[in-house]
Amino acid sequence: MQLHVFFTPADLLAVSARSDDVYIVVDVIRATTTMAVMFDQGAKRVYAANTLEQARLAAQRYPERLLCGERHALPPPGFDYGNSPTQFAHIDLGERELILTTTNGSRAFFACPEGSMRLAGSFYNASAVTACALRYAQERSGNIAIVCAGEGGYFALDDTACAGFLAREIQRQHAAIEPHESVLAAQAIYEAYPPARILEYGNSARSVIKAGLRADLDFCIQTSATSTVPLVEGKEAGTDLLVIRQV
């Protein structure tokens, strides 16, 4: 079994990715953290949209679903909620369905091979998501790839540092896994920029602070605070949204 880190979705699209591998998508500030919180608060399903238009059309078709997400850290006009894990942590989402579109995170799931096992990973669910990825990879005789959502198509310090931490967790749980050079690079970045330092240097963190959502950053660097693991189970007919449930 091999372990890779892709620093942007474009890096993944540039290779012949395998559908029997397991992909951990990381948008630590804030989408993959928020997804875990949504399920912690009782959400039944989350539907990830690749574009604003796709999200809005799906919301028109299914008005009972909450329309959530952000562009440039803030909710677009007409949305019910944004992409704030702190906000969702105080909302009862019992059996609700939500549509989520974000600048980077929700889109990164679409870069993974269709039909592949895709998990939402973050510092927040680190122990659980890595254990889950290992279990599925062993069942499928596949490899594990950590896919950083990045920032506007470019490298993002926060996602890469989180990928380094998740890779370290995977190696701790399964010492026989073969790390690619990309894993070594991500781990070096994590060691140089642990969570508290990410908040000082990352562009994603600065955008969230500018939007007046500083509390989200402290939330996103909590480590292994939940056992919730969001999983893509397929694509919805008629909307092409990715259907995400809790493992």
d(CA 121, CA 188): 19
Q: 100-136, pLDDT tens digit by residue?
A: 999 999 999 999 999 999 999 999 999 999 999 999 9
Q: Which domain holds residue 65?
A: 2-246
Q: For residue 230, count CB atoms less than 10 angstroms from its CB and return exposed for 0-12, middle for 13-18, buried for 19 or more.
A: buried
Q: Three-class SS of residue 242?
A: strand
Q: 33-44, pLDDT tens digit by residue?
A: 999 999 999 999
d(CA 167, CA 23): 12
Does residue 135 have a cis peptide bond before it, meaning omega lies within 30 degrees of 0?
no
Q: 33-91, pLDDT tens digit by residue?
A: 999 999 999 999 999 999 999 999 999 999 999 999 999 899 999 999 999 999 999 99
DSSP 125: T
Q: What is the pLDDT of residue 130?
A: 98
Mean pLDDT of 206-234: 96
User: What is the secondary structure of 11-44 as a DSSP string?
Assistant: HHHTS---TTSEEEEE-TTTHHHHHHHHHHTT-S
Per the structure, the count of domains in the chain is 1
* Torsion sign over Cα 174, 35, 6, 235: positive
Residue burial 91-128, b: 16+ Cβ < 10 Å; e: rest? bebeebebbbbbbbbbbbbbbbbeebbbbbbbbbbbbb
d(CA 171, CA 163): 12
Q: What is the largest CA-CA distance in the chain?
A: 49
Q: What is the pLDDT of residue 101?
A: 98
Confidence of residue 196 (pLDDT cuts 50, 70, 90): confident
User: What is the secondary structure of 108-121 as a DSSP string?
Assistant: HHHHSPTT-EEEEE
Q: What is the pLDDT of residue 138?
A: 97
Q: Both tokens of residue 210?
A: 């500018």
Domain at 80, CATH number: 3.90.1560.10
SS3 content of the chain, % helix, strand, coil (to 5): 40, 20, 40
d(CA 166, CA 28): 11
Mean pLDDT of 15-35: 96
At which residue do the structure tokens 């997400």 appear?
69
d(CA 4, CA 146): 6
d(CA 231, CA 43): 13
Q: 156-180, pLDDT tens digit by residue?
A: 999 999 999 999 999 999 999 999 9
